Structure 1
């Protein structure tokens, strides 16, 4: 599967392997075969809890990957509605949860919430909390579908219908880093109440997740930047106009407990977080909670040439993983796409001559049909499970979200193949760093996971980067 851009330009955009990121990590060999590992599934499979949007579970490459019984939606209801559990009317008291846990000790709000949630599940209640159906339509599932596919998509063969109605078999040879894993999707909205985030991490712990992935930022109102000083604009006090609504004492306590809970959970199993896409000096929250004393792993992005992606801070990540790039033109750096059709070299400083920009994107699974990042003229195609086209089933993706998903899949594959024994977050982080390589360049030093040997970057020769094993 190759991606090409037919737009006219001073040079033709290079075609590239849609799974280049797996080869750069060393997971796949040059011939796209597993690089020293088997595709056999372990029993039980490695369980990855992803806290993100919902996921398009009927995507051909995700069928059988997402655990429909355990996936929980916290967008629609306070104590969550189970996303795909039968018809929502069956009792759910027999879920295989770790009922006895001390993970919330010393956290009164988390403890209260845990008690409520366990009571709800143990009294034979129904999957849809108070009858509220989960908000898991594919319309809301774009980001989660991309991330889930990068972690654990499996190659599949789908039925395709052409314009004459003829049905043929269409191979979709796409895969995530660990196609043997099991994903439990825990969906929230993008401006959640602290209760839903507390419950998301508590639930991931209850289902005994081997890995937890949070590929986005969450609010951090207890750590906001200092307010503006008094400045008068006409008759209006700018400070007063921009002042945040103060948190209620109970909410402030819950946000504080959330940070404590994330750290506590990370010591039980790794918590992989995206470091952010705006060159954040200390990473976004909660990636910025990562220290040598917990199991939180902050992940930055590196492009297909082996340079730090322009949007990823060189100092805010535990490790870096393959992703896309972005143009930048400021006082710090000039990195422009010289193959862009409207590129004009007039006025561009000589500093752009290092040619650090890479046009390679990470290719991910997308919501089929009109939803998602790659739209289709056809409506959702789930009713008969037959494809009218397959372009919308995949999309270009990137950012530290993609990089974090790849690191999560890398750790999952290590557990699934026995290279890493299921362990706490500190041990897993130490293993990850021990199986990473130091990449040094004028854009900063980076540690990048490598399955075997020295990483190889597909977008041109390396003239600046030097790679050395750690």
Structure 2
């Protein structure tokens, strides 16, 4: 007997379309009509300054063009003491920068204090924007993550120009915005496996530029802290953490890593440090999110999906607050959460009583590197110097994880500062304000809290 194989239903017929700014509506920042909820850009007397420690950013993106501070953004990937990311002339004078030279955050940290002196000397006296002639490493190839995060925090609606194949050019509206489209972003870029010295410099620089908020949407690879749950496990007579360590740390490096943890906590007392909690159900959160306590200003952020459930990859115990992200399928002894709308979904073998109903196919939509770089690539190169593109899709991409969630919480705090709701800006006070403006989500995760601008919570996929 011949059995005809059923034709899979195309994904376009199974997945619902959804508003690209659903995450802002869920946070209560904009209304269902897409208008600001009880806030206005005209109310801002001083833009909130947000320092983002991440990869570089595509500052030429139309939605980020007026959001990123091109004078202060610094790249610590290319040169030891940093090169200014968007300096057009490597010989431009930088001594006239209005920086907070007398920051006290390093006073009790010997190595960091000496490093700060050297850093201040370079910034106040060095005549070149590019340290020792080394140009910044801010290629679009390295800018995908930073561009997504920056857009979620502070993108502005914009009008770009689209270039047709026939050479015709027309205006292309890009009605996209971050949580606080009035803020000012200082991008501090490092690589993803940095030496502790560059991270010390990054956090010191946030204080030199007078950042109101610091966002770290990723982990820091401290060999002694990145996997704290391994400390008590043994392989024979060897500690598992020691066994998996690539090489022994030099004493001076170990001291730098120790001072970095102390510096992050100290900085958080002056301004909030918002951290991603991790995407692998880490019990204690990734480092440095796991430094958060009720006594400091470090804020650990987890992710929830568009149905209001904790995202499958985000641990309930490791986060103080949650914000919109995406979701992921999971099938293990603890939980079954599958995408039943997937064209090749097969329910055979799926146990009864599973939590498929929790899964949401919604992603957070974020700004992306225009052209061939980024997460959403294009067959066309960017058209410079007039910034014309041949197609729309490459400007944006699907994003998620606790990186997206932490960026949205950072934007929420920034909007609170910009609108005058959050007046006391030190870290512990900002954390207290955030909790007081968060709502308990009515799902089976009874301790899950999400910021809400209006005090109400709704989810588009519920």
- TM-score tier, shorter chain, comes to over 0.9
CA positional deviation for 1:450: 0.2
Residue 250 of structure 1 corresponds to 252
In structure 1, runs of 5+ residues without a counterpart are 1-5, 233-237, 461-470
The correspondence for 1:281, drawn from 275, 280, 283, is 283
Distance 2:9 2:411 in 1: 33
Distance 1:40 1:142 in 2: 31
CA displacement 1:278-336 (0-9 Å, x = unmatched): 00001000000000000000000010000000000011111000110000000000000
Distance 1:104 1:114 in 2: 7
Distance 2:280 2:129 in 1: 39
Residue 468 of structure 1 corresponds to none
CA positional deviation for 1:445: 2.0
Pair 354,115 (structure 1): closer, same or farther in 2 beyond 3 Å: same
Whether 1:229 and 2:235 are equivalent positions in the alignment is yes
Residue 5 of structure 2 corresponds to none
Pair 61,7 (structure 1): closer, same or farther in 2 beyond 3 Å: farther
Residue 3 of structure 2 corresponds to none
Pair 9,346 (structure 1): closer, same or farther in 2 beyond 3 Å: farther
Pair 343,412 (structure 1): closer, same or farther in 2 beyond 3 Å: same
Pair 381,106 (structure 1): closer, same or farther in 2 beyond 3 Å: same
Q: Contact between 1:41 and 1:180, CA under 8 Å: does it hold in 2?
A: no
Pair 9,70 (structure 1): closer, same or farther in 2 beyond 3 Å: closer
Give me the TM-score of the superposition, normalised by structure 1: 0.93
CA positional deviation for 1:246: 1.1
Distance 1:199 1:10 in 2: 47
CA positional deviation for 1:85: 2.2
Residue 445 of structure 1 corresponds to 447
Residue 316 of structure 2 corresponds to 314
Residue 42 of structure 2 corresponds to 40
The correspondence for 2:266, drawn from 264, 267, 270, is 264
For 1:329-348, what aligned pairs fall within 5 Å after superposition?
Answer: 329-348=331-350
Pair 119,208 (structure 1): closer, same or farther in 2 beyond 3 Å: same
SS for the counterpart of 1:272 is strand
For 1:100-119, what aligned pairs fall within 5 Å after superposition?
Answer: 100-119=102-121
- What's the Cα RMSD here? 1.9
Give me the TM-score of the superposition, normalised by structure 2: 0.94
CA positional deviation for 1:165: 1.1
Distance 2:13 2:353 in 1: 20
SS for the counterpart of 1:351 is coil
Q: Contact between 1:210 and 1:422, CA under 8 Å: does it hold in 2?
A: no
CA displacement 1:182-235 (0-9 Å, x = unmatched): 000000000000000000000001110000000000112123534751399xxx
For 1:129-140, what aligned pairs fall within 5 Å after superposition?
Answer: 129-140=131-142
Distance 1:240 1:100 in 2: 39
The correspondence for 1:397, drawn from 392, 396, 399, is 399
Task: Number of aligned residue pairs: give it.
Answer: 451
CA positional deviation for 1:444: 4.7
Distance 1:242 1:258 in 2: 22
SS for the counterpart of 1:378 is coil
In structure 2, runs of 5+ residues without a counterpart are 1-7
Moved over 3 A (4+): 238-244
Whether 1:208 and 2:214 are equivalent positions in the alignment is no
Whether 1:80 and 2:82 are equivalent positions in the alignment is yes
Distance 1:10 1:45 in 2: 41
Residue 235 of structure 1 corresponds to none
Residue 290 of structure 1 corresponds to 292
Residue 144 of structure 1 corresponds to 146
